[in-house]
Amino acid sequence: MVDQQLLIEEAKKIVSQEDVKYVVGYKKGTYGFTVSPSYAYSPEYVENFIFNPLCTKNLTVYPMLEEKLPLGRDEKEDTRKIGLVVKGCDSRAIVQIIQEKGLKREDVVLIGIPCTGVIEPRKINRKFPDVKDVEDVLEEDDNYIIRFNGETHTIPKNELLSNACKNCETPNPPLYDVLIGEKVDTPEIQEFANLKDLEDKKIEEKWDYWEKHFDRCIRCYACREACPLCYCIECMADSLTPQWLRRSVNLSENTAWNIMRAFHLAGRCIGCGECERSCPVNIPLMELNKKIEKDVKELYEYTAGKDLEEKPLFGTFKPDDPEEFIL
pLDDT tens, residue by residue, 253-282? 999 999 999 999 999 999 999 999 999 999
Q: What pLDDT does 179 receive?
A: 96
Q: Is residue 327 part of a domain?
A: no
Q: Is residue 61 part of a domain?
A: yes
Q: Give percent of the chain with pLDDT exceeding 70.
A: 99
Residue-wise pLDDT tens digits, 114-133? 999 999 999 999 999 999 99
**Domain count across the chain:** 1
Is the confidence at residue 243, as pLDDT, over 80?
A: yes
* 156 bridge partner residues: 143
Q: How far is CA 266 from the centre of its chain?
A: 15
- DSSP secondary structure string for all residues of 275-290: HHHH-TT---HHHHHH
Q: What pLDDT does 326 receive?
A: 66
Report the pLDDT averaged over residues 223-246: 90
Confirm if 96 and 267 have CB atoms less than 8 A apart. no
Range of weakest confidence among 217-221, 242-246, 250-254: 242-246
- DSSP secondary structure string for all residues of 43-67: GGGGGG-B-STT----TTHHHHH--
pTM, 2 dp: 0.92
Is the confidence at residue 45, as pLDDT, over 70?
A: yes
Residue-wise pLDDT tens digits, 199-211? 999 999 999 999 9
Its domain, for residue 188, covers 4-66+79-118+162-315
Average pLDDT, the chain: 92
Q: Is residue 237 part of a domain?
A: yes
Residue-wise pLDDT tens digits, 206-229? 999 999 999 999 999 999 999 999
H-run or E-run covering 327: none
Please give the Cα distance from 159 to 167 (Å, whole number): 15
Q: What SS3 class is residue 86?
A: strand
Q: Is residue 144 part of a domain?
A: no
Phi first, then psi, for residue 302 (nearest 5°) are: -125, 135
Is the confidence at residue 146, as pLDDT, over 90?
A: yes
Q: Give percent of the chain with pLDDT exceeding 90.
A: 74
Pairwise pLDDT comparison (78 vs 203), residue with the higher score: 203
Task: List Cβ neighbours of 184 (8 Å cut-off, separation of 6 or more).
Answer: 114, 115, 116, 171, 172
Region of residue 273 (phi > 0: left; psi between -120 and 50: alpha; otherwise: beta): left
Within 10 angstroms of residue 1's Cβ, the number of other Cβ atoms is 11
